[in-house]
Structures are given as C-alpha cells and as structure tokens.
Amino acid sequence: MRNFYQAGRSVTYGLNGAIATSNVHASQAGLGILKAGGNAMDAAIAACAVQCVVDPMQTGIGGDCFTLVARNGEGAVEGLNGSGRAPMALTADYLRAQGFDKMLPTSVHSVTIPGAIDAWTRLHETYGRMDFADILAPAIDYAENGFPVTQRTSVDWEMGVAKLQKNEAASKLFLKDGKAPKAGSVWRLPELAATLKAIAKTGRAAFYEGPLAEQMVESLRAAGGLHEAKDFAATNANYVTPIHADYAGHRVHQIPPNGQGITALIMLNILSRLGLDGLDPNGSMRLHLEAEAARLAYLARNKYVADPEQADVPVEMLLSDKFADHLCGFIEKGKAGDPTGANALESHRDTIYLTVVDKDRNAVSFINSLYQGFGSGIACPNTGVIFQNRGFGFVIDPDHPNCVAPGKRPLHTIIPGMVTKDGKAAMSYGVMGGGYQPVGHAHVLTNIWNYGMDVQEAIDCPRAFYNAGVLEVEQGISPSVRAELAAMGYKLAATAMPLGGGQIIAVDPETGVLSAGSESRKDGCALAY
C-alpha cells in the first residue's frame, strides 16, 4: 500500500466492472458502455475510438490494433493480430533503386495499410454485444462537438508540430495557425467525425472499400506511395494462438511474432534464473540484471522477429529453457555487458493501451497505435485519417527475415499482455512506449511478484531502459544508484520524457474484487463500479 503522505494514486477497486486507460475521456466512455449493458469488448472498442479522437498523436484509425481476450476469465486466452501490411507493389529492390538504404519514419513507404478498423469490426463480430453504432457514439460526439485537450496530450501534441507542418492536410487537421492546442482548449475533428459515422453505419466496408478508401489511396499516391485500392480491400486481421512463459506460478501470454511480445517472455525467462527476490527494487543490482536481460532479449528480437507468414521465426527455440540458460551465460553480476547490436529501434512513446474487465469477468487487453507521434505525419484531408508509419519497423537488408516485402507485416512493437493462474485470468495489463514495452512488461510484473507491489505501485515505480548501448533512467532513480550503475560500466542518460505508461486490472480469485491502476505518467485513470 502506498504512503499516503506522498503524492500518488490509490488502487481503484470494483465488483461489477473496471476499465483503465491513459485518457480520462476514454475511461469515462468505456465505463458508460459497461453500465449501459455492454461487455468488456464493447467498452474497449468505445474507449479506443475515443482515444483516436482525443489523443490523435498517440493513436488513430489509420493505425493498428492487437488484443488478448480471456472469455469469462477462464479457458484459453485468445489473440488477434490487427497489424497492417506493406503495399503489394512495394519491394526492397524498388526502395534500393530509389536510393533508400533504410526505412525512413516520415516516408510514405513506411505507411502500412491501417489494420485497426478491420480489427475492431472483427472483434465486435466475435465478442461484442451492443450495436456498433452505439459503441462509436462517444467518439463521434467528441470529434463533432469538441473535447478539452488534457495536459499530457498537449505536451505530446506540441512535440509533433514540426512533423505536422510538413504535410498540408495534417497541418490543417491538427494545427491552428501552425500551433498545437494548449491544455484546456477545445478541439474538434469534423472530418474524422464524418468518417466514424460512416464506419458506424456500414462497418468495415466503409473504410476499406468505396469513396473513403479511394480518398486515402489518392492521398498516399500523391505523396509518392505505391498503395492501391486492392491493398485496402485485402486487409484482414487474423486470430492467433498466444505464446507464453511461466514466472512465479503465473503464465504470461503474448501475441506471437510479428509482434515483439516474445521479447518480454525471453526477458522473464532470463530474470527467473537471476534471483531478484530480496533486491532493492530501485537499486543498482535489480536495474543491472533487468538491463542485461533486456540487452540479450532485444538482440534476439532484432535477429529473429519478423512476419511468420514470410519468414522462419524460431519461436519454440527462443522460448526454450536451453536458450534462456544460454543467454544467462553472458551476464556478469555487477558488470555491464557488451552493447553491440542492442536495441536498434529509435525511441518512440506514442501508443495507447487500455484494459477492461466486465461483470462476467471477460477480460480484454487492448492496444492501438500509429507507431511514432502522429505516425508518418501524412494525412488524408477529407477523411481526417492520419496514417501510421509501421513500415519503419522493416529493414531493407534482403538477407534479414524482417526485410520489407509485398504484403508483409513488419516487426511490431505494440504488445498487450494477459496473465493467468490455474487456468483463470489473473491480470490484464500493458505498458506503452514503443521499443520500451517488453522491458515495461517485465518491470511491472516483477514489481508485483518479486517485490509485493500492488498494481498501482507497480506501474508508478521508477523505470530504466537499456536502449542502443545507453541506460536511460527516470528521475526517480537516485544519484547514488546512478553512480553505482556507472561504476558497472553503463553509459547513463536521463530520459527526455517519462518511460511509457501503463494500465493493469487484476482479479482476486477468492473475492472476485477487481483492482485497477492507471499510472500518472499519462492523463488517464482507472474507473470501476
């Protein structure tokens, strides 16, 4: 339990349902859906749709979506991969001929086809209870009639101004006189409202076929893209069997590759062998062991993770005891390891994660993203859609399994998490923050299981991220601990912004009480009833 003399948040408790998101407008919308008779998936889609309006730099309908679901809180965890694909005309040979030696974050060639709306409609068909139009109604209202911009959103919006100014449509949609809105100001997105109304009326077809799709293709081709109407029409989210690892008597579930969730599982497999119990959770040795686990797990990710439909991804080997034992052999307690090839993805912290548990104990772990802030920065003016830059996760090396190719899905950073114990859902959780996410997952879970923190303490706890040979540390890490880490050989840097953001809902197996947390690094909250 937290120290009530210090600033912080208490755990939110409920019996009938709970929702935790990174924006208060979204949490309120989702709770309203639950109270109106909707289930966890209805509430999750409604909340996500709201965030696509009120957090437009973090997420949008021009992005992708992954989910994990535990029906009635028991049975097999089910996953959906809603990541979009590269245009069928895009090849590595074409990019090299155009002078590219790597993917660029604001290039139109980094725009993969948006998978989110296809994923939402598929999830609603499988799990939903309420009418889809009623689910989207709160988001449409915010887009049409306006919403007050929250504090963290205003900061993130301001960080995207330079990108938005490079695209006429994006600038018109998201800036006024070339400036981002201030906290507390009201913003409207009427073009996006009209698009959401069309989706509410006719579903998936409104987005991927007909006039809206034609307009989006026109915008992308005007920017030099190779996208075609048939790429949009062929978009197809697919259900997948989650992968898992066991830790402290619990089973942790993740979406399989092309997602990077396997990285979190590799980290947990390593950490389970390193004896974290008894260490200071904010001390140098705990952070050192976590950084080493991250270093080795990310090296494996960067080498192997790709679209399994077009590459051989050795999932069984990567999750094996033999591989974990092998990696542990490269860790020295008290000495930083060789950073060669450590996480090469650029830092990006622009994603929304939310989770919902309803009265029937359906648990939904839900994540939606444009990748980097405002994605590619390329927008379609009449639809209000800004396109993701997920293709930035590809490489152009023809010998690498993650090389860009027609219809291929890139290495994907967004990862929802689900924990079961004895076959029942124990926790639905996620940590935002792009490349940081696997570290965030491991950090939060070990905070709970090794150090006895509650769900709110676990996500509020100070963080560090071993990234490209540099250990980034938040302000909550003491100067003495930083000095000890430097003495171990780490190159340290202060984080430019807080690392990620997270939400958790835990289910007490004895009482049925829901414990929900939403951290203060973002503008959200956990609500329950």
DSSP 467: E
Integer CA distances (angstroms), 433 to 368, 372, 414, 475, 515, in order: 12, 10, 8, 17, 23
Q: Find out whether 182 and 154 touch, Cβ atoms under 8 Å.
A: yes
Contacts of 141 (CB under 8 A, 6+ apart): none
Give the CA angle between residues 172, 174, 179 to the nearest 5°.
Answer: 90
Q: Which residues are catalytic?
A: 351
b/e code 88-99 from CB counts within 10 Å (16+ = b)? bebbbeebeeee
Beta bridge partners of 20: 355, 526
Contacts of 398 (CB under 8 A, 6+ apart): 92
Tokens of 467: 């990234």
Q: Which of 4, 3, 6, 35 is nearest to 19 (CA)?
A: 35
Contacts of 63 (CB under 8 A, 6+ apart): 114, 115, 116, 368, 369, 370, 371, 375, 388, 390
Q: How far apart are CA 122 and CA 238, in angstroms?
A: 9
Q: Find out whether 188 and 172 touch, Cβ atoms under 8 Å.
A: no
Q: Find out whether 366 and 354 touch, Cβ atoms under 8 Å.
A: yes
Q: How far apart are CA 257 and CA 246, in angstroms?
A: 18
Q: Which residue has the tokens 């540390």?
A: 473
